[in-house]
Amino acid sequence: MFNIKEEEKGVVLMSGRLDAAQAERAQAFMDQVKDPHTVDFAELDYISSAGLAVLLRTQKQLMTQGSGLRIVNISPQIMDIFRYSGFDQIFQVSPAEA
């Protein structure tokens, strides 16, 4: 199961599993958020390459406007995925606090 919602202006909370089955819905949601600047992964359990593509596309769109995404509360497992894929160099990331 995957849920996505805007918590407050520009802060998007993702929870559950962001995989290929959910990527289109996630991208449509991110496209309609007026000024996404922070994505909170506190409740995200899993992200696939399709989920990473959603983040990358959103980042590219924001960079053309001189902005970018900040990813917060990343679990150690998802942080490993970010490191292996080089996404930790593309996004400003903050691991989950213990």
Tens digit of pLDDT at every position of the chain (98 positions): 999 999 887 899 999 999 999 999 999 999 998 887 899 999 999 999 999 999 999 999 999 999 999 999 999 999 999 999 999 999 999 987 65
Q: What is the pLDDT of residue 44?
A: 98
CATH superfamily of 2-95: STAS domain (3.30.750.24)
Give this prediction's pTM: 0.91
| Residue showing tokens 């849920």 | 3
Q: What is the pLDDT of residue 8?
A: 82
Rg (CA), the chain: 12
Q: What is the pLDDT of residue 98?
A: 54
Q: What is the spatial distance between Cα 19 and Cα 97, in angstroms, rounded to a whole number?
A: 24
> What residue segments make up the domains of the chain, in order of their start?
2-95
Contacts of 92 (CB under 8 A, 6+ apart): 68, 69, 70, 71
Amino acid at residue number 49: S
Amino acid at residue number 25: R
